Structure 1
Amino acid sequence: MEPQKINKGDRNKIYFLIIVIAALVGTNAYLFFKDRQQSKKFVTVSTEKDKLRLEVEKIEVELDKVNALNLDLNEKLVEEQKLAREKIEELKAALEKGEITQGELDKANTQISELKVFVKNYNDQIIQLQRDNIFLKNTRDSLENTLRNISNKASSLENENANLNEKVKTAATLKLQNAEIVAFRTKSSGKKVQVTKSSSAEKLSVRFNIIPNDLAVKGHHNIYLRVFDPAGNLLADDEDRFEADGQEMQFSHSIYIDYNNDNSSYVIDWRNPKAFMKGIYTVILYTNGNTLGKAQVELK
């Protein structure tokens, strides 16, 4: 049996079908690879966006750490942080877009790199601020301790000085060396006559010497007398008052003496506004706010 011959027309149809099939296979292959590349590109873009979001969050956390320190930031640092947070919000908004071009991703990446550099410099400034604050606090504490020590020393010296002044004042106080009291009356001739009876006595005369004291102030000293009768009553005018031994007192009489630390004797005459009575009269002398001494006399 002889093989069937294919005419020229059928042969052309076969060639055409082969070309069409080859074209379809090529198109399908192209579409397959293109779809695969697009899928890979989407995955790459999505992954890059997530990576950038994470970097932005890290930067934001670093700024939040600064605020948690409760530092007193200067105006420059506050303004810098404000600008950084504005840029972060812009980046977050850009990365939330459904579609983003590679150029936009590259721009975001550049901005995030700049923010990283900024945050590093910003943190360096914060660290320096913390160090400065610690230094200032230590300096302040040191100064406070120094001032406290100086104040304590000043108070101690003041107390010592006060004690020393008190000792000097006490050492400079005038004290009686000896004193005696005599009663007398004055004759018609003007002559004073010493008496021992209360009925004839008109005045009391206090004669005294002061213990020599080189520390005592020379010059005028006011001497106050307080005279007590035998019954213990103070013979004084209610209006005549002075201060001694830390309290206010009435006095019977006062005079000025000129003290020169030369063993001088002093005399004070006092007239009784009442009639003298029998018994012991006591005279206490004061000067410069202190007790000078006392003396007594008995009248019969």
Structure 2
Amino acid sequence: MDSLIGKVAVVTGATSGIGVDVARAFVAEGANVVLAGRRRELGEALAGELGPAASFTATDVSDEGAVAALLDLTVERHGRLDVLVNNAGSPSQLGSIEDVDAAAFRAAHEVNLMGALYGIKHATGHLRRQGSGGSIINMASITGTRAVYAGVAYSTSKAALISLSQWAAAELGSYGIRVNCISPGFVTTGRFGKAAGVAEETAQARLSALEAYAREQARSLQALPRPGFGPDVAGAAVYLAGDASAYVTGHDLVVDGGLSLGQPLEAMVRLRDAMAAIYLS
């Protein structure tokens, strides 16, 4: 506990899902946190819940001017900036590449990739002038390195975000600024429903049903037989934000319960036995 005392952090996409848990974890670890998101009512309610260490600023990360204003306001309010978590993201529906809607594709990239680029761009000046380094954390995804786990717009935007993180880390390290990304796997949030075309409020209300289904599926999909949850990812963010990771930059921290490793042994044994039964029938 208290690993972020004295640090000032900005978390975008902090009105739902992983962003909420990252904000909670940062406040619990002693940071002052500026929550950013488009939904003012949810953001202000969360800031009120988290207490005086948290505040909310309505921000659309696809608007470069809004991102710049968010970071300027943070420094004006707190006197400094230490951590930026580019967490805001937009899902895309699964479907054939023949059916890709160009406008929807660009919209996903505007949030998932350009929003992070704007954050890095405008945080760099503040961090460089402070002269004390800083940590930028981009929320990527295992879909950025593995096809078909998500829609093509989401996957390609996350692939580009991983590359952007590495590029920025290589440039900004000379200022002591670290840039890393986190790639979650099967993390149960309302975003799954949104990607399926369900309104996020409805998806959030049905989250317990999703969690039950995810627990059932995880046993045959990955090494750790349970889905991920927001606090799992938040723990990784706390590590990358704090001094414990002072020598870590340009890293893609995968938090997926082993999903990217392939199916666990038990699942492969069942497949082998089923195939053997075909020969013996």
Taking structure 2 as the reference length, the TM-score comes to 0.17
Q: Report which of the two has the higher share of strand.
A: 1
Larger RCO, structure (CA 8 Å, separation 6 or more): 2
Taking structure 1 as the reference length, the TM-score comes to 0.16
